[in-house]
A and B are shown apart, each in its own frame.
Chain A
Amino acid sequence: MSERSEQIVTTAPTAHGDAHHEFTTKNYIVVALILGAITGLEVAISYVDIGAVFIPLLLILMAIKFFTVVLYFMHLKFDNRLYSLLFYMGLGLAPAVYITTMLTMHYFG
């Protein structure tokens, strides 16, 4: 890997001027390793009987992985808040619509 790819990536400040953050190649690798470890943990607990906490634990681990990618790999944590708004609108609307639909079809009953 050349010297250049080790350069620090600096995201542009937002309109609010509050998002100036530096992330290096090493940081990205650490984040990826954490994601890999969580995936391993998910698979491991799917083979173990841990009772009622099984599904909530898997959902929490899924959410951690999801938002880690969104915030750090997609840079939403450091980028302008308008981008977050556009994405989270869709992300929030989808479960709202479909959980309502599933309720009407008595999925949870």
Chain B
Amino acid sequence: MTDTALRPDAHDAHADDTHATTTGLSHNKMGMWLFLGSECLLFGGLISTYMLYRGRHSGNLGPDQIYDIPFTSVSSFVLLMSSLTMVLAVSAAKGNDERNTRVWLVITALLGMTFVGGQVYEFTTFYREGLGFTTSLFSSSFYTLTGFHGVHVTVGIIMLLALTLMLRHRRVPGDKAEVVELVGLYWHFVDIVWIIIFTLVYLIPA
């Protein structure tokens, strides 16, 4: 497998578009940061709702009784390490190393899949123990918050795998290193949201 430069050459029209902005900054990257800022409001709402309703449950199906902290800790560690592999993918992309970029992207996707698999297992276990979506306000807010996060991780995995295939088939237009960086920003955001969820939802008792 040969290494191919990820950055466009001097004659690439897309590259010129990237830098021809009034601020001298990439509009794509600015748009991604703005999007991530707006995502803070989405997850802020979901976390606040959970905090309001986490005490609204019946019997022994509350957060202190049902959470499996060791299992969730391992999932959290896996997601945290996926941020490392993602930043290594970005690093490889900036170093024009296409092969390692793809390798790190695939490893990141696999770690993401492990996390989502763990979440599916956790949801299934909770459901079997009697905690359905409509069982209580606690369960509704818990499933909505962690479910939304899980959907974000899943979208991230799709982006990672699609980007890997697009790099393989040379279908990424413009500055390829920047595209990898943008996907990386989204992935890291998913990780920092989980950092908050892990502490506020799982570790701090209700």
Contacts and interface: CB of A to CB of B under 8 A. Distances in A.
A55 B47 CA distance: 17
A31 B81 CA distance: 10
B126 to A, nearest CB: 19
A93 B41 contact: yes
Q: Is the interface of A mostly helix, strand, loop or mixed?
A: helix
Interface string A67-108: 001100110000010110011111101110111011001010
A94 B40 contact: yes
Given A65-B195, A93-B40, A102-B51, A4 B97 contact: yes
B33 interface: yes
A32 interface: yes
B80 interface: yes
Contact of B95 (A4, A28, A82): A4
A61 interface: yes
B188 A69 contact: yes
Interface stretch (B7-15, B24-32, B136-144, B145-153): B24-32
Contacts, number: 141
B76 interface: yes
Contact of B25 (A25, A42, A58, A82): A82
B175 to A, nearest CB: 12
Contacts of B52: 102, 105, 107
Nearest to A79: B29
B48 interface: yes
Interface residues of A, number: 50
Contacts of A101: 48
Interface in B33-91: 33-34, 36-41, 43-45, 47-48, 51-52, 69-70, 73, 76-77, 80-81, 83-84, 86-88, 90-91
B96 interface: yes
Using C-beta atoms within 8 Å of the partner chain, give the interface range for chain B: 35 or more
Contacts of B73: 39, 43
B192 A28 contact: no
Most B-side CB within 10 Å, residue of A32, A70, A73, A91: A73
Nearest to A42: B203
Contacts of B134: none
Given A90-B36, A91-B37, A32 B199 contact: no
B199 A83 contact: no
A53 interface: no
Contacts of B47: 98
Contacts of B48: 98-99, 101-102
Contacts of B77: 36, 39
5 contacts: A58-B199, A62-B196, A66-B196, A80-B25, A86-B30
Given A43-B73, A74-B184, 6 more contacts: A2-B3, A4-B95, A5-B88, A25-B88, A62-B196, A86-B33
